[in-house]
Amino acid sequence: MASPNSVTTTEVSPKLQLPTKYSVAAEAKARHSQNWLFTDDASPSIFQKVIAELLGTYILVFVGCGSALTDKIQQLTIVGIAIVWGFVLMALIYALGHISGAHFNPAVSIALAASRKFSWKNVPIYILAQVLGATLASLTLKVLFHDQHNIEATMTQYKDSTSDLEAIIWEFIITFILMLSICAVATDHRASKDLTGVAIGGTLLVNALLAGPITGASMNPARSLGPAIVSGVYKKLWVYIVAPIIGALAATLVYSVLRVPKPEKPEENNKNIFNHLYVPAEP
């Protein structure tokens, strides 16, 4: 029998939660919004990745296509233009690669998703950001170079002496080479990541030197779409959309043959082999 002066204490279950004024649906919505804008861990949110892709594609097209317009004022030659394209891509990879992966190219996003190195659910919004960035860059160039009346020099076109099939083959091959370089240095665990920007930028430079005078060396549907939308000229645009995508997909397929699975860490191997050692003993 308890003493009259004794105080009875009641334990509260730690699982008991006090009611809140917010519903579960409202909390879930708020959590989803937070994940879209910012994340608690060190990885960037999808919002930050999309902004990085938009900015990166904008700068890439603005500087690269701008060099073609500057060539009309002060001759840079194909060598100078190719160097500009290669160096600006190299700089952007080091500047934004850790945020979005530095795709700046719909063909690259699609190919990486096909090889399971990128999520398919992010492909549409990445492509939208890339095309928007290229279009805004082309619009900016049209305003700044208004004395040239048009920006057709920034468009990727090929002469009538080059057939559609030849143009497709050119764009397929150079995009294949570019994507193969990306797969090798950016997605393979055996490669040195310190030289990723140099390798990919250098590949773009070489491709621009080789195919620039023939097809414009697009290798990038967004790079071709931006100037076309602003100029209103869509002649043969389909070649620069289809060929780079097929070339990039082919490169990922070929590199899948060369890829070696990443070896598991010793502790992971031990955990898998001796899994029973990690099972807590029953009392």
What per-residue confidence (pLDDT) applies to 224?
96
What would the two tokens of residue 264 be?
């598991």
Residues 6+ apart with CB under 8 A from 143: none
Q: What is the CATH number of domain 46-258?
A: 1.20.1080.10
DSSP state of 159: -
What per-residue confidence (pLDDT) applies to 150?
81
How many angstroms from the chain centroid is the CA of residue 33? Answer: 23
The domain ranges of the chain are 46-258
Task: Determine contact, residues 251/115, Cβ cutoff 8 Å.
Answer: no
Q: What angle do CA 34, 56, 172 make, to 5 degrees?
A: 120
The rounded average pLDDT for each run of 10 residues, N- to C-terminus, in the chain (283 residues) is 48 48 52 53 88 98 96 93 97 96 97 94 97 97 88 88 95 98 92 90 97 95 96 93 98 93 63 40 44
Q: What CA–CA distance (Å, rounded) separates 33 from 182?
A: 32
Rg of the chain over CA atoms, in angstroms?
A: 26
What would the two tokens of residue 115 be?
């090889």
What per-residue confidence (pLDDT) applies to 281?
44
Task: Determine contact, residues 129/116, Cβ cutoff 8 Å.
Answer: no
Residues 6+ apart with CB under 8 A from 203: 177, 178, 181
Q: What CA–CA distance (Å, rounded) separates 247 from 104?
A: 16
What per-residue confidence (pLDDT) applies to 275?
43
